[in-house]
Amino acid sequence: MIKNIIKPLLCVAVAAGMAGCSENDVYIGGADTGILESPDGNVVYITDGNGRSDVGYVEFRDSYTLDLFVRSSKTLSGNVSATFSYDPAVLDEYNKGEGTEIALFPQANVSLADGGRATIAEGSLSSAAMGVTMTSAKDLDPTVTYAVPLRVNVDGGQLGQASDSYIILVRDITSFPGTDKYYDGKPGMKIIGVIEVNNVNPLNVMGFTLKDSGKQFFDMVVLFSANINFNAQTGRVYVSRNENVQAILDNRDKYIKPLQDRGIKVVLGVLGNHDASGISTLRPQLAKEFAKEVKNVCDAYGLDGIFLDDEWSDFNAAASGAIPGFCAQSSEAASRLAYEIRKAQPQRLLISYRWEALTRGYAVDGMDCSQIWDYVCNDYLMTSNPVDSYPGLRQNQAATGSWNCADGSGSKDRCIPSNQKWSSRFSLTGMREEGYGAMMIYNFTCNPSNAMTNAVIRDMGATARDFWNAELEYDNSWYPKDF
């Protein structure tokens, strides 16, 4: 969530250095490029810790320190120093020139290490870090970007005086309460919302919070769904995305980041798509290659994890032996793929939808199911405990009581909790008392025109009371599908 980038704002023309400089001395001329350059090509410039000085911002909870450095492209014959100071005039000038109305991040919540001074010592190319520490102002709007305006004065030896201006764009998201919920002081059950993005905007989950704490009702959102597909010409198995999934990924700042800002994890669903490739049909080498592909997609779009669903593949084609790299559908192959995904990106969530070959899990290369999976979700029809078929899985990694927001019919078993068929198989209180860690809500929607919406909201309220002893609050917002 933290992007450490400093934005160059203005570069003011600077006085020339004195005559008689050696070839290593710096003449600081007027420029508007964000760097201080001499006639022989030497530059003195400012970067963050990653060497970047491009457009961006800092986003943080509670506090964050951004390290800034003064650097030179050549070693100097004398010291060069820069002094950073908080200067509202920098932002005034920018807002006036650009016609913007960016607000100040409070000076009282900004501190500069060593009085804001950074020095490039003689013979060196970089100063030590000068830390800009920002602490939460608590009452700032977490959806608004503010500015820390910095005036930078450069001096040293024959350099005379120079000045430059930089702004650090800041979002303080501390006031978002997050999603961590409790019952009697212990971590509470998680809610995994599976969103059919062909029909529903995922932002709709944000409208549901707990009244007293402000915590988000949903802990995770699954974008359902991307697919696993096979390119026969290249022999490559890849993550394919239809136009709806791709639109959300391409516009992550609009559809993904607002969820993540509130602490909701955004997970990409992956399931079969009518060819031989599938969650449970890849031989080890192809599984390893596909796991890298999955990681690349998660990296590219800043996703928090993957939800695997073993459906809609051509299992007969995979089992025929006609296509190299594929095997007959098996739980062992599904576990191997999950293992490779876990190895490729251990920091991200990995969730199993317990269906087809994923009904059962296996340890792989000494890694048991609790290490491979974060959560295993029962299908709607299942009442058995995932722990019994996923060796090593902890009870708080198991999810049961799944329900379908679009199905309240008494003639089916996979309906919402208000239906008698559901309640005869599951108890919200019972799931919590038995130590389950999560519950999946599929096909979530709160469209006012949907006849099921009122019942879904009612049952979500019952879930909040039984899972966390809390009252559900809905802000009546509705985000249409606009992608």
Specify whether the backbone of 280 is left (phi greater than 0), alpha (psi in -120 to 50) or beta. Answer: alpha
Looking at domain 182-474, its CATH class is: alpha beta
Which tokens in the block code for residue 102?
Answer: 């960016």
d(CA 371, CA 363): 9
Query: In 260-318, at which residue ranges do the beta strands (DSSP E only) sit?
Result: 265-272, 305-309
Residue 125 DSSP label: S
Q: State residue 41's pLDDT score.
A: 54
Dist. CA 221–CA 213, nearest whole Å: 20
Residue 32 has what pLDDT?
36
In this structure, are residues 58 and 68 in contact, taking their beta carbons and an 8 Å threshold? no
Which pLDDT belongs to residue 42? 62
Give the tokens for residue 278: 């599938």
The stretch 381-397 carries a mean pLDDT of 97
**Sorting pLDDT into bands at 50, 70 and 90, what band is 166?**
confident
Q: Which architecture, in CATH terms, is 7-172?
A: Sandwich (2.60)
Residue in 472, 480, 483, 31 with CA at minimum distance from that of residue 208: 472
User: Would you state the pLDDT for residue 13?
Assistant: 26
The residues facing 85 across adjacent strands are 151
Q: Is the pLDDT of residue 444 over 70?
A: yes
Where does residue 227 rank: exposed (0-12), middle (13-18), buried (19+ CB within 10 A)?
Answer: buried
Confidence check: pLDDT of 10 > 50: no
Predicted pLDDT of residue 350? 98
Query: Annotated catalytic residue: which of 122, 289, 293, 311?
Result: 311
Whether a cis peptide bond, with omega within 30° of 0, leads into 280 is no
Which DSSP state fits 282?
Answer: B
User: Confidence band (pLDDT; 50, 70, 90) for 37?
Assistant: low
Residue 311 falls in the annotated catalytic set: yes
Cβ atoms of 399 and 378 closer than 8 Å: yes
pTM: predicted TM-score of the whole model, two decimal places: 0.78
Where in the chain is CATH 2.60.40.1740? 7-172
Mean pLDDT score across all residues of the chain = 88
- Is residue 105 within 8 A of residue 147, CB to CB? The reply is yes
CA of 428: how far to CAs of 185, 225, 291, in Å?
18, 27, 35
Six-digit token string for 356:
């087809």
Segments of the chain assigned to CATH 3.20.20.80:
182-474
The tokens 């990106």 sit on which residue?
345
| pLDDT of res. 361 | 98
Alpha carbon of residue 21 to chain centroid = 50
Q: Which of 45-49, 304-308, 446-450 has the highest mean pLDDT?
A: 304-308
> Cβ atoms within 10 A of the Cβ of 395, count?
12
Q: What are phi and psi of 43, to 5 degrees?
A: -130, 145
**Which pLDDT tens digit goes with each residue over 103-149?**
999 999 999 999 999 999 989 989 999 999 999 998 899 989 999 99
pLDDT at 428 over 70: yes
- 315: nearest Cα among 304, 326, 300: 326
Per-residue pLDDT tens for 180-201? 999 999 999 999 999 999 999 9
Q: Provide the pLDDT confidence category of residue 483 given band limits of 50, 70 and 90.
A: very high
